[in-house]
Amino acid sequence: MTSALLQVTDLQTRFHTPEGIVHAVNGISFHINEGETVAIVGESGCGKSVSMMSLLKLIPTPPGEISSGTAIYRGTDLLQKSEREMEDIRGKDIAMIFQDPMTSLNPVLTLGRQLTESMREHLGFTKEQAEERAVQMLEQVGIPDARRRINEYPHQFSGGMRQRVMIAMALSCAPSLLIADEPTTALDVTIQAQIVELVARIRESLHMAIIWITHDLGVVAGMADRVIVMYAGFIVEEADVNDLYDSPGHPYTLALLAALPRIDRRRDHHLKSIAGSPPNLLVAPHGCPFAPRCEFVIEKCRQENPPLIQIEKNHSSACWVDVKTGAPR
Amino acid sequence: MVRYIVKRLFQGLPLLLVISITLFLLMMNIGDPIATMGGRTITRQSDRERLTRQLGLDKPISVQYLYWLIGNDWTKVDSDGDGIPDNYGTRHGILRGDFGTSLVTRKPVTELIGERIPNTLLLMVASEVVTVFFALLFGIYSALRQYSVMDNIMTALLFIAYSMPIFFVSLMSMYIFAVLFKKWGLPYLPTVGMFDPQVGKTPWQIFIHMILPVFSLSVTYFAAYSRYIRSTMLEVLSQDYVRTARSKGLPRRQVVYIHALKNAALPIVTVIGLDLPFLLGGAVVTERIFAWPGMGRLFLDHVSRSDLPVVMGILMLVATAVVVFQIITDIIYAWLDPRIRFD
Amino acid sequence: MNNQTPTLSELADDLITPPLTLWQLGWLRFRRHKMALFGGVILILLFIFAFGGAFLYTEKYANFNDTSQRLLAPSAEHPFGTDSIGRDILARTIYGGQISLFIGLVSVIIETILGIIIGALAGYYGGVIDAILMRITEAMLNIPTIFLLIVMAKFFGGNVPEIEIAGRVFSGSVIVIIVIIGATSWMYLARIVRAEFLSLKENEFILAARATGTSNSQIIFYHILPNTVAPIIVSSTLSVANAILAEAYISFLGLGVMPPTATWGNMLESSAKYLDSAPWLWFFPGMLILLTVLSINFIGDGMRDALDPRSRTI
């Protein structure tokens, strides 16, 4: 693991609300290597966005609090850095794109201004240099007539175009890690595919690592090397992408895959939804958080939360039951 | 844009017309102007009749309104009381800039108001500058340190300031900075008028005489604006585009003062622009307490003597100011917001 | 899924919080609002002061003037001092408080009725009615309230006779002030009610009521109005503070409630003359007005947080 670009250990994030403490992220550990693409999958509210925002210290504190953990990026712990030091990391080494391109761009500033400011900040570019590169970036992400459109405002662009702008903005300083927080969720299906393809293409040219957050296993099948499945602030399964699809090791992953529409399925095959709702994160976790919704539940599940253990090479799962046999491990 | 402004002005006109009719009707019962005219008591019946006729008060109210609005120089009026209209009237009406003549001082209303407007504007502009400056300072500071001890203390203090009646602030500040300071041998502030007649109307005199009235006029608005700016900033700071700006690694200064404040400015400018003419309301009380020779005091003095032309003149001026400021605010908003500017 | 055991569904039920009604939720949030609770306590104390104090002093004593006792500083005999014609200020703040609070509450009732009727008519019927009512509302909003109050006080305030209610004699100006405050303050509420009606009248349950032939007045009062109660309550609560302030301003300018009937506002009227020599003249009534307005603003703020559906963030 010495070659890891980012090694996260025991990351824990909480929110102090008037109703009590929300346990958003409950001690997750994972790594990502240079140039690798990892997908983090889970339902909304499972802590996938919060954990990524914690890494960049973008969690509003208070009410948020990163209560434990380390995140070693190229030898230094991000979580120990001051706000000032983080400013040098964000956008330059680790960039982020967000879910909703309609609200993620500043409505009162021109695209040119928004595209150039991080280059001027991090790379010491002059205004002209930065604008030149911004035009190149826009052309690279497929925005026609970039030199003219750079003086326009976000509302003059469509949703898909804005997400392309966001990508151009995030990549302008050539970061070594891109965190993409559900960048296609708010877009039309056809545009989703274009964006995925665009990111995959740019990844090759920049040799950049990507953490792709999504709730849709289908989106990442083609591009991710590895998949991390999160539930209720825990990592419940981690595997190479093919292993995960072929032999899922956690009941939750099984359920997610069953909920996925597939073109090769028989027409009378019904899609399954997962019964119940995600747990109330206000209650401190006790036992396996998925137990109330699990088909394979045994008594032990309600007593003790299963640790993430290796079940095969490069494949870990947090479950007391072997889902292939239904027998306790 | 020009078309838009013209359209808005034309929309404002019927509104002002409705306001003027309503106010004119209310004016009809504010008292007998002749009884208090110029401080003299008019006892002779023939004098009363002559005055009533000269002022047009014998006419039905609709005719009085018409004369006030468009003047009476287009029709013959009865000036000698024989019931036969003989000479053309001399009034031009408010639409042609003739506000009439004060019943009390016999001076043209425009002259009376004109003398006072600069004094009132001086108070208002100074208060607005002080208010906005400190409200921005406190509002932004508070928003950036939400939930801190300082934020909580400031929120509580602003609540008290917000609930302070202007007259109470005035009396308290006069008592502390004039009476007590004088007693303690400290340099103290003057409380009445615009300058010391023995020194003359120097800028310095006007400045020190302004401090207390401006302070009194500012406290409530300052508190209201600080609260508003704080909540607007908090809302803007929680927006996605602020998160984007932070994720780009921009320095905090740039995130707050460019990305956040430029968006927060839109609602803030709107509220301030729309409120500005309403400061005139506060000026009525402040000018009365501090004996400041402005429009508010002119209004009070003349309303108590039933001086219809002056009172109507001031009220219409205020109503027009409100309409004009609405239009100005719209224009500034459109200029600030590219979503409107480019449509 | 279908093979769940009963114990499982029980477990799942534990995780779901029971739904609360708007009012239960509101009360929970209000209770958390410490400033609002503090405001409530202060307001109750002020009511005890104004109404309980009547057992200590008679109204006759409050209006009794003894010029040999004028402008006395606070002492054991006159805890708040005496005014320029020798009346006891404590007794007058007690009886003045009753009138000020009374004016505040009753004028807001008038304001609320006017605001609801005008807002409901404009919002429900729309069209010409809406256009006319909203132009009037706009016209009223176009003049700062203090000017309207002054003009209306002059208009109605000629010679009003004294009136007797429950064995007590009041200056008729009390009624005049209540009416003019109510008549000059309904505009914001009317706009709120209109907006609520506009959005509610298109709802399915209203369309259903209409389809079954329910009369307009029934739809307005029984179907739509109950759904607009929360914003009306919040706005009306804050209006009480404004009404008390309005009375104070207009009385301070000498156009409000006429002596001998005391209000906190008219007690201040001539006190500016004694700014330096007798500060107790304006300090006590001024402080009481401030406390009342402050506590009502605290309560209103808490209510807005608690009841306003738009501020539903917890």
The pLDDT assigned to C291 comes to: 93
Which range among A2-6, A265-269, C305-309 shows the weakest confidence by mean pLDDT? A265-269
Range A189-219 burial, b when 16+ CB lie within 10 A, else e: eebbebbbebbeebbeeeebbbbbbbbbbeb
Is residue B25, in this structure, part of any structural domain at all?
no
What is the full DSSP assignment across A106-146?
-TTS-HHHHHHHHHHHHS---HHHHHHHHHHHHHHTT-TTH
- B167: closest CA among C293, C148, C288, C248? C248
Q: How far is CA C304 from CA B224, C235, C298, C309, in A?
A: 16, 8, 10, 9
Residue from the list C8, C11, C32 with its beta carbon closest to the beta carbon of A18: C32
Give residue B92's domain range: 34-102
The set of chains that have 3 or more CB pairs under 8 A with C is A, B
**Partners of A16 in the β-ladder:** A21
In a domain, B266, yes or no: yes
CB B107 within 8 A of CB B116: no
Sheet holding A37-41, edge to edge: A94-97, A177-181, A209-214, A37-41, A226-231, A234-240, A315-317, A309-312
Q: B56 in a domain, yes or no?
A: yes
Considering the domain architecture, whether residues B321 and B280 belong to the same structural domain is answered as: yes
Q: In this predicted model, what pLDDT tens digit does every residue of A183-231 receive, in sequence order?
A: 877 777 777 788 888 888 888 888 888 998 888 777 777 788 888 988 8
- Find the radius of gyration of the CA atoms of chain B: 25
- The pLDDT score that the predictor gives to residue C101 is 92
> Looking at the structure, do residues B296 and B181 belong to the same domain, yes or no?
yes
Per-residue model confidence (pLDDT) at position A272? 65
Please report whether residue B17 resides in a domain. no
Torsion-angle region of B41 (φ positive above 0: left; ψ -120 to 50: alpha; else: beta): beta
Task: Give me the average pLDDT of each 10-residue run along chain B (343 residues).
Answer: 79 86 80 62 69 75 84 75 74 82 84 91 92 92 84 87 90 89 84 81 87 91 91 88 89 88 89 87 88 90 85 91 88 83 65
| B172 lies in the same domain as B128 | yes
Q: Closest Cα of chain C to A82: distance in Å?
A: 30
Report CB contact under 8 Å: C151, B26: yes
pLDDT of B155: 85
* Confidence (pLDDT) at C10: 35
Domain end marker among B80, B102, B124? B102
Output the DSSP codes for A31-72: EEETT-EEEEE--TTSSHHHHHHHHTT-S-TTTEEEEEEEEE
Helix (H) / strand (E) element for B221: namely helix B203-237
Question: Could you give the residue ranges of the DSSP H alpha helices within chain C?
Answer: 6-15, 22-32, 34-47, 59-63, 89-125, 127-141, 145-156, 173-183, 187-200, 204-211, 216-218, 229-252, 264-269, 280-307
* Cβ atoms A180, A199 nearer than 8 A: yes
pLDDT value at residue B216: 92
In Å, how far from its chain's centre is CA B174? 22
Contact A235, A307 (CB under 8 A): no
Burial of A248 (0-12, 13-18, 19+ CB in 10 A): buried
Of B72, B102, B132, the residue at which a domain comes to its end is B102
Band of pLDDT at residue A313, cut at 50, 70 and 90: confident
Is the distance from CB of A107 to CB of A154 less than 8 angstroms?
A: yes
Chain B residue with the nearest C-alpha to that of A60: B238
Cβ-defined contact of C286 to B172 (cutoff 8 Å): yes
Q: For A265-302, b where at least 16 C-beta lie within 10 A, e where not — what string?
A: eeeeeeeeebbbebbbbeeeeebbbbbbbbbbbeeebb
Phi, psi of C258 (to 5 degrees): -90, 140
Contact in structure between B268 and B307 (CB atoms under 8 Å): no
In this predicted structure, what is the pLDDT of residue C265? 87
- Residue C4: burial class (beta carbons within 10 Å; 0-12, 13-18, 19+): middle
CA A231 – CA A276 distance, rounded (Å):
14
Instruction: Report yes or no on B229 lying in a domain.
Output: yes
Mean pLDDT of C122-128: 89
Shortest CA distance to A257 belongs to which of A265, A269, A245? A245
CB B255 within 8 A of CB A121: no
User: What pLDDT was estimated at residue C311?
Assistant: 47
Beta bridge partners of A315: A239, A312
Which of C143, C154, C298 is the closest to B319 by Cβ?
C143
Mutation target vs B (from C34, C134, C141, C143; most B CBs, 10 A cutoff) = C143
Distance between CA atoms of C172 and C248, rounded to whole angstroms?
17
Residues of B in contact with C142 (CB under 8 A): 15-16, 19, 319, 322-323
Domain match, B181 and B322 both: yes
Beta strand pairing call for A177-181 and A209-214: parallel
- Answer yes or no: do B224 and B77 share one domain: no
Say how many domains are in chain B.
2
The CA distance from C232 to the nearest CA of chain A, in Å, is 27
Is the per-residue pLDDT at C117 higher than 90?
A: yes
d(CA C265, CA C99): 10
Are residues B213 and B168 part of one domain?
A: yes
Q: Are residues B216 and B331 in the same domain?
A: yes
Q: Note whether B90 and B120 are same-domain residues.
A: no
Identify the contact set of chain B against chain A, taking CB-CB distances under 8 A.
147, 238-241, 243-252, 254, 258-259, 262-263, 266, 336-339, 342
Cα A228 to Cα C273: distance, rounded to the nearest angstrom: 79
Report d(CA B212, CA B170) in Å as an integer.
7
Residue B18 covered by a domain: no
What is the reported pTM?
0.84
Question: What value, to the nearest 5°, has the Cα angle with vertex B153 and ends B150 and B156?
Answer: 145
Burial of C234 (0-12, 13-18, 19+ CB in 10 A): buried
What residue type is C111 in one-letter code?
A: E
Tell me: do B129 and B167 sit in the same domain: yes
Give the model's pLDDT for residue C20: 58
| Average pLDDT of every residue of chain A | 82
Interface test with A, best of B235, B248, B332, B342 (most A CBs within 10 A): B248
- Domain contains B267: yes
- Among left, alpha and beta (phi > 0; psi -120 to 50; other), residue B31 is left
The answer to which of A150-154, A298-302, C45-49, C164-168 has the lowest mean pLDDT is C164-168
- Domain containing B237 — which CATH number? 1.10.3720.10
Beta-bridge partner residues of A6: A32, A73
Q: What is the pLDDT of residue C11?
A: 35
Asked if residue B190 and residue B168 are part of one domain, the reply reads yes
Domain at C23-63+77-306, CATH from 1.10.3720.10, 3.40.50.300, 3.40.33.10, 3.30.70.20: 1.10.3720.10
Q: Which of A60, A91, A105 sits opposite B247 (nearest CB)?
A: A91
Interchain CB distance below 8 Å, C290 and B163:
yes
A132 to chain C, closest Cα gap in Å: 44
pLDDT digits (tens, 9 = 90+) for C3-33: 333 333 333 333 334 455 667 767 777 777 7
Q: Do B181 and B263 sit in the same domain of this protein? A: yes
Of B43, B67, B102, the last residue of a domain is: B102
- Residue B213 inside a domain? The answer is yes
Which one of A15, A273, A297 makes the best mutation probe of the C interface by having the most chain C beta carbons within 10 Å? A297
Q: Give which of C217, C218, C168, C220 is closest to C198, Cα–Cα.
A: C220
Of A89, A106, A153, the CB nearest to B241: A106
pLDDT per residue as tens digits for the range C55-104: 877 777 777 777 777 777 777 777 777 777 778 888 888 888 888 999 99
Collapsed DSSP state (helix, strand, coil) of residue B106: coil
Are residues B149 and B89 located together in one domain of the fold?
Answer: no
The CA distance from C172 to C193, in Å, is 32
CB A56 within 8 A of CB A94: yes
Residues 6+ apart with CB under 8 A from A71: A6, A7, A8, A9, A11, A55, A77, A78, A79
Check if the beta carbon of residue C193 is closer than 8 Å to that of residue C228: yes
